[in-house]
Amino acid sequence: MVILIDTNVILDVLQKREPFYEYSNKILCDCASGKIKAYIAIHSISNIFFILRKQLSADKRRELLLILLDFLTVANANHESVKFALKRNDFIDFEDCLQCECAKNIFADYIITRNTNDFLVSEIPAITPIEFIQKIMKY
């Protein structure tokens, strides 16, 4: 099983956002233990670094991201993938289209996100952390 974890799921854990923290954290823990092969899109790293700037120092943000990269592999979108994403107007949000392109490049089984409506046209199925835990991992 290969998954791409969307930025919002990682932020749920890093910011301990309720009521989302529990399931998002369970997924990251399963990734850290090696139960799940998981990726993070390259642009998610810069987005997280930016979003957390008001809460954490640059050194702390770097430390957190380096910890994540101990068990999440970076997924890239190549030149052609980015061009393709720019030409697509069926996605509501360009950033989500880039997530989809990164997921396609790693042959992901799922994109784990809380914003599944933004991925209705995605070639890779998008499911919420709760759906992933209950239906796929069957905890």
- Residue 39's CATH number: 3.40.50.1010
The number of folded domains in the chain is: 1
Please give the pLDDT value at position 68: 97
3-61 residue pLDDT tens:
999 999 999 999 999 999 999 999 999 999 999 999 999 999 999 999 999 999 999 99
Q: Quick one: pLDDT at residue 138?
A: 77
Give the pLDDT of residue 137.
80
Q: Is the pLDDT of residue 116 over 90?
A: yes
The set of residues, in sequence order, having a beta carbon less than 8 Å from that of 121 and lying 6+ positions away, is 90, 91
pLDDT of residue 2: 96
Distance CA 136, CA 105 (A): 22
Range of the structural domain that residue 82 is part of: 2-136
Mean pLDDT of the chain: 95
